[in-house]
Amino acid sequence: MSLKRVYLVAGELSGDILGAGLMRELSARHPEVEFRGIGGPRMQAAGMQSRFPLETLAVMGLVEVLKHLPALIKVRRTLKAEALAWQPDIMLGIDAPDFNLGLERQLREAGITTAHYVSPSVWAWRQGRVKGIAKSVDGMLTLLPFEAEFYRDHRVPVAFVGHPLADELPLENDRLGTRQALGLEPDSQVLALLPGSRANEIRFLGDTFCAAAEQLCQRHPALQVVIPAATADRHREISALLAHYPQLAKRCLLLNEQAREAMIASDVVLLASGTAALEAMLCHRSMLVAYKMAPATHWLAKRLVKTQWVSLPNLIAQETLVPELIQEAASPEAIADQLGAMLADDASRRELEARFATLHITLQRDASRRAAEAISLLAAGQTLENVHDD
């Protein structure tokens, strides 16, 4: 079956990147295919006719969502009407689950085949949502293997397509060359410090991370520290913090972005939980995950979250490869002690780097190609079990 019409709805920049890669693969398979829905500049360049700007769905926080709820309901109503009038072969929501799953369910009930790309964290909390997902989609496309296992256990059609970041990052990287490019000493030990990309993360973690690194600098006189600031605002905030940590400031290279280069140059990475942990794993670097949040948020999370781990490397491996220090456990002394032990154990670091390279291969599946194959199969009324695992 030749695919003619695909309705896509992406919610933010990461979705625009995934959507563009998928569209290119679908166009190669089905030269006459048309795309409509919501997409950003990359998806538009790949042939999307976008009905609304990409930022339309990028609303964060409860108060902000409530404030924009009438407009979001109107957008969803408009998209539903347009999709029903256009009658696509398939509708695919890319991330933005709070918006897309509702739209997918409405269209599926109206007889249109639907799918969702990027699983919400239903495996971690509010697992009852999987029943609603089963009613909303004909198939789920996941980036990570343990997510696919969760859906199989709940009898939701699923395809593990791999992670685009694993496709993008090479299986071998140049630590010494990257140090040279950053102006770091080639033979000294290097710590990459990533306290997070959000203002709240700097507020909760900035002092703790800097205090731990200051202690480590006192214990390891030759240690070099690299801090990549995610944005100009984070750069200003971290610069202000460093004024209170003179030993660290003397040993620190503060970068504008360049998180990947900082990780590759490092021996050990200290970071907040999140996508950065996955990127560090795909750079094959030992890491310590430390995280703090508001006490009320932590109290609630302990009661809602169903997973044993918070970091993606541990979740992917389903074992503790990466130490995790959460809330009260994430004291500067505990962090410095753990990092010191990691820096002193060259053999364990090399062993973990090799393990991360193996996990990298597991995720390196040519995600856009596999996603396109899954969409083509669903649109043709076939099962996702036929997605080739090669």
- Catalogue all structural domains in the chain, each as residue range(s) with its CATH number: 5-162+365-386 (3.40.50.2000), 175-363 (3.40.50.2000)
- Residue 56 DSSP one-character state: G
Collapsing DSSP to helix, strand or coil, 6 comes out as strand
**What's the rounded Cα separation, in Å, for the pair 22 and 281?**
24
**What's the rounded Cα separation, in Å, for the pair 18 and 155?**
25
Report DSSP letters for 253-313, one per residue. EEEES-HHHHHHH-SEEEE-SSHHHHHHHHTT-EEEEEE---HHHHHHHHHH---S--SHH
Which of 119, 140, 122 is closest to 130 using CA atoms? Answer: 122
Tens digits of residue pLDDT in 176-223: 999 999 999 999 999 999 988 778 788 889 999 999 999 999 999 999
Residue 173: both structure tokens together? 């990287």
Tens digits of residue pLDDT in 80-121: 999 999 999 999 999 989 899 999 999 999 999 999 999 998
Mean pLDDT of the chain: 90
**What's the rounded Cα separation, in Å, for the pair 365 and 166?**
8
Query: Is the pLDDT at 9 greater than 60, yes or no?
Result: yes
Query: Is the pLDDT at 276 greater than 50, yes or no?
Result: yes
Give the pLDDT score at 385: 77
The helix, strand and coil proportions of the chain, stated in percent and rounded to the nearest 5, come to 55, 15, 30
Give the pLDDT score at 293: 66
Give the pLDDT score at 71: 81
Provide the pLDDT confidence category of residue 300 given band limits of 50, 70 and 90. Answer: low
Q: Are 371 and 94 in contact (CB under 8 A)?
A: no
Give the pLDDT score at 110: 98
